[in-house]
A and B are shown apart, each in its own frame.
Chain A
Amino acid sequence: MSFEFTKDELERLDDLRNKVDDDRALVLPALWILQRRQGFISSEDILYLEKTLGIRAIFFAEVMGFYSMFNESAKGKYELKFCKTITCKLRGSDEVIKAAEDLLGIKMGETTSDGLFSIGESECLGYCEKAPCMLCNLDQIGDLTKESITELIDRLRRENASR
């Protein structure tokens, strides 16, 4: 089934449209609504956005390519996005990422076969004081170590197995 905005979502976007002088200001909010609900944004979805909002598809595509937070295809239930920027790198993010890859048996950009985890990269999360850090869905998690990432993954696995 393809994505459609609810009446309420459309109203919110219209409200916003009245407040800005360039319609392209709607690009980010529209993408967010879509991704929060569906988890990813396909190229058909972009065409739907163009049709519904009257903003050229290529503007959505540009923004999608710029921000690593937007997914082009479905991701796992838990999406881990590791910061790859310099502070985190200096504080050992490579090691943490390697640990996550080993634990999950997948590489960066991939999803586990049970659909539980995806791992990927992100630019600086503005959380350098707690480097190395990452996002787990919308939660920011800092001071990562090999141990803490192992513990997190184990816990999420247990929680999902018990149900």
Chain B
Amino acid sequence: MVEIIVDGEKFSVNEKGNLITELKKHNIEIPHFCYHEALGVSGNCRMCLIEVVGQKRPQIACDTPIKEGMEIKINSDLTRAVQRGILELEFINHPLDCPVCDQAGECDLQEYYMKFDKQDSQVSLADKVRKYKREDFGSGVIHDAERCVLCRRCVRFTQLCTNSYELAVGGRGEHSHIMLMNGKKIDNPYAGNIVDVCPVGAMTSADFRFKKRVWHLQKTPAICQGCERGCAIWVDSNKAKYQDSIIYRFRPRENSVNGYFICDYGRYSYKDEQIIKRDDSAKISALALDLRSNASKYDILVSSSLSIEEMSALKTLASKFNMGLYGFSDFRDESFQDEIGLKLRVPNKTANRIGLIKLGLDKNLDKKSSNLIIFHLGKDFEFASKFEFDNVIKIGSNQDADIVCASSYHRDGHTLNIDEKLRFSKGVFEPISPKICDIVSELMGQRVEFDINILKAFA
């Protein structure tokens, strides 16, 4: 760690780090487009130019080595002047279509303009270079060439992160544009991240386009339940007046497990996690009644999609009524594993296989009683057909369930990922359907309390 001076104030930073990232840790933002923590320095956009004391000319912060005692000025007149200059250049051919752009509200260019620029363009709309406004790049990525600031983040993502090399910069000067090779579309399981790395509205999501203005979205930190990696995500949801809450999208949340990215399977899994409006309370009461007299004829099967809290609640239930308790975690899909690239995806497509093992629930169903109650969160109940019982009661968060419960995104819960890291996912909004722990409480006739010490063993 060394000390540097920013606008007269001392800060201690890692000298091996990048100036932009190091200052971000102190909540100091240096505007930038092309630099990205996961993609490294490119030095092409010049948005990060700042005044460095002792240097004749402004320097790009992204590629200025940190030195003990160095002094920079990020709010000086000189820094402001170059920022305005760069922004003026960016807007020469910009279409100024923020009102219809999905990125508006989370666009770096828009933000910097409002912060530092606010000047009129010297180029009339009629004189601007026109480019493609809606090119389908494949894999849910739509490109608007007019909004592009040519920072090459998207290109570098396909080169450095997915090794798929679908994108490049074609042309030169004001005619430069992001292109596909011979029109060959983007084809990789992480394509959705291209929309996220683009600092402006030049890459938008075919899925999210024109669905919701971003400032109406409420963001909740959660964990993707799509596979055993347990990537950190933001769940963006909204509740319109007189309507139920809707999840609009999942986005990666910067985290040591997944870095800056998530896979497309996980990203679009939000579609299976919307509220299901069905009132199964009568069925729950009937089951509760039956358990009270005939519990021993039931077995319980827990899938590895449940949280540790839910699993241990079911353990309590099973021991109270002396029912057989079994686990199921065979959700393997070999094709889901990546050979190259980010390699986030783990073949087991549920979040808590390790949790299931650690709680001692990985017991295969051997004996057969006549009734089976299956608990499973997530999109399909297909595996349930494996079990030949006279009577199977499916309790889960999808339409196939006999009793619908709240999904994994509508309750708080812990899971253990493939590397045995404890992951905490926060409920996005209050569900309409009961949470599994509530159902268990009702079946038991008393509130199940979760013993927090169970988690301490995994932390």
**Footprint of B on A, CB under 8 Å?**
43, 56-59, 61-62, 65-68, 123
Contacts and interface: CB of A to CB of B under 8 A. Distances in A.
16 contacts: A43-B182, A57-B182, A58-B165, A58-B166, A58-B168, A58-B181, A59-B168, A61-B168, A61-B170, A61-B179, A61-B182, A62-B168, A62-B170, A65-B169, A65-B172, A123-B172
Contacts of A68: 172
Given A56-B165, A65-B172, 12 more contacts: A43-B182, A57-B182, A58-B167, A58-B168, A59-B168, A61-B168, A61-B170, A61-B181, A61-B182, A62-B170, A65-B169, A123-B172
Contacts of B167: 58
Contacts, number: 28
Contacts of A66: 171-172
Interface residues of B, number: 11
Q: Which of A57, A65, A66, A67 has the most CB of B within 10 A?
A: A65
Interface of B: 165-172, 179, 181-182
B165 A62 contact: no
Nearest to B169: A62
A56 B167 CA distance: 11
B246 to A, nearest CB: 39
A65 B166 CA distance: 16
A57 B165 CA distance: 10
A94 B167 CA distance: 35
B179 A65 contact: yes
A123 B170 CA distance: 16
Contacts of A56: 165
Contacts of A58: 165-168, 181
Contacts of B181: 57-58, 61
A57 B168 CA distance: 10
A123 B173 CA distance: 10
A69 to B, nearest CB: 11
A63 B165 CA distance: 15
Nearest to A56: B165
A4 to B, nearest CB: 20
Given A43-B182, A57-B181, A58-B181, A65 B171 contact: yes
A28 to B, nearest CB: 15
Contacts of A62: 168-170
A57 B179 CA distance: 13
A84 B147 CA distance: 26
A146 B278 CA distance: 83
A58 B166 CA distance: 8
A68 B172 CA distance: 9
Contacts of B165: 56, 58
B335 to A, nearest CB: 25
A61 B170 CA distance: 7
A14 to B, nearest CB: 23
B182 A65 contact: no
Contacts of B171: 65-66
Q: Which of A43, A58, A67 has the most CB of B within 10 A?
A: A58
A154 to B, nearest CB: 33
Contacts of A67: 172
B167 to A, nearest CB: 8
Contacts of A65: 169-172, 179
